[in-house]
């Protein structure tokens, strides 16, 4: 285990929250996937503000049906349930808003230079530091959202080598702190962000998101199911979180769905 290892602990997480009463935090040493667990829970009960955080996942999931790998204690892996009583159609920009909240929390921890790649990759030094998976679920108490967030904290070289994409971690960004404190900071930012999103939607996050977009004004290529479907310059995101790219044929609007963005 890494020398600065401090185990996840619900009482330490609560102690770092201004409003611990707003969350129900549960720590699991090991689980299949914190997001899958919350989705199962939604079938029989209310998952609003329930948080599951795990030391390791045996079946962690990423976007595009990919797996999300970790080593015990070397990542921050958690999911937050939210039942906002909003129509599913307005939830498109939620993963981008959550990206802004994660950046603000990392900045609060003095981790500078964190960027976002549309729709919701968290980058540092052009490498993937983390990811956000937003899933909707129709459960026992109505429409819910499960926000699953994974951040690499201190991966060892064997795990890095097994991941095809360039990855980085918080240790490489100079952060060697307590994951309980970091999770409390992220939940604190999400607490504010979710209320803001419920009230004003993604439009109120747009400027903060653009300021952190790693590929802003860069040539990009958009892929779906392994095929390039568009290429152009990333010029903007609109009020619902769609990416706007300037192509030779005009401005094209792309909604996240199952799209992947690559530098062109």
Which residues make up the interface to ligand BTN (CB under 6 A)? 33-35, 57, 60-63, 66, 68, 77-79, 121, 131-133, 148-150
Q: Which is nearer to ligand BTN, 111 or 132 (CB)?
A: 132
CB of 66 to ligand BTN, least distance (A): 6
CB of 151 to ligand BTN, least distance (A): 8
Q: Which is nearer to ligand BTN, 103 or 232 (CB)?
A: 103
Q: Which residues pair with 244 in a beta bridge?
A: 236, 253
Q: Which is nearer to ligand BTN, 160 or 203 (CB)?
A: 160
Q: Rounded to the nearest 5°, which phi and psi values hold at 17?
A: -95, 135
CB of 147 to ligand BTN, least distance (A): 9
User: H-helix or E-strand containing 181?
Assistant: helix 179-200
How far is it, in rounded angstroms, from Cα 248 to Cα 87? 35
Q: Which is nearer to ligand BTN, 204 or 223 (CB)?
A: 223
Q: Which is nearer to ligand BTN, 133 or 222 (CB)?
A: 133
CB 38: neighbour CB atoms within 10 A? 27
Strands 24-31 and 259-263 come out as: unpaired
Radius of gyration, alpha carbons of the chain: 18
CB of 37 to ligand BTN, least distance (A): 8
CB of 34 to ligand BTN, least distance (A): 4
CA dihedral for 79, 62, 102, 246, sign (positive or negative)? negative
Quick one: tokens of 153? 């904290």
Q: Are 53 and 28 within 8 A, CB to CB? A: yes
Q: Which residues pair with 150 in a beta bridge?
A: 77, 131
Query: Who contacts 200 (Cβ-Cβ below 8 Å, separation ≥6)?
Result: none
Q: Which is nearer to ligand BTN, 54 or 237 (CB)?
A: 54
CB of 186 to ligand BTN, least distance (A): 12
Helix axes 179-200, 94-108, angle to 10 degrees: 140
CB of 42 to ligand BTN, least distance (A): 14
For residue 261, CA distances in Å to 206, 224, 228, 244 come to 18, 9, 10, 12
Q: Which is nearer to ligand BTN, 69 or 90 (CB)?
A: 69
């Amino acid at each position: 285990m890494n020398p600065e290892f401090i185990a996840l602990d619900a009482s330490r997480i609560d102690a770092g929250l201004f409003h611990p009463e707003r969350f129900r935090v549960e720590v699991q040493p090991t689980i299949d996937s914190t997001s899958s667990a919350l989705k199962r829970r939604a079938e029989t009960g209310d998952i609003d503000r329930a948080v599951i955080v795990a030391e390791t996942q045996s079946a962690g999931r990423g976007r595009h049906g990919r797996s999300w790998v970790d080593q015990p204690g070397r990542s921050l892996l958690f999911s937050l349930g939210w039942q906002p009583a909003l129509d599913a159609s307005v939830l498109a920009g939620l993963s981008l808003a959550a990206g802004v909240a994660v950046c603000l929390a990392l900045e609060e921890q003095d981790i500078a230079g964190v960027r976002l790649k549309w729709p919701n990759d968290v980058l540092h030094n052009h490498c993937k530091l983390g990811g956000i998976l937003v899933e909707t679920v129709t459960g026992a108490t109505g429409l819910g959202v499960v926000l699953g967030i994974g951040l690499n904290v201190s991966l060892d070289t064997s795990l890095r080598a097994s991941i095809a994409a360039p990855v980085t971690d918080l240790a490489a960004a100079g952060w060697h702190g307590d994951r309980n404190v970091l999770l409390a900071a992220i939940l604190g930012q999400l607490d504010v962000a979710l209320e803001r999103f419920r009230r004003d939607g993604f439009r109120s996050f747009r400027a903060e998101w653009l300021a952190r977009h790693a590929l802003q004004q860069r040539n990009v290529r958009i892929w779906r199911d392994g095929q390039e479907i568009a290429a152009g310059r990333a010029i903007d995101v609109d009020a619902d979180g769609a990416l706007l790219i300037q192509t030779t044929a005009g401005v094209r609007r792309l909604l996240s769905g199952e799209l992947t963005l690559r530098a062109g």
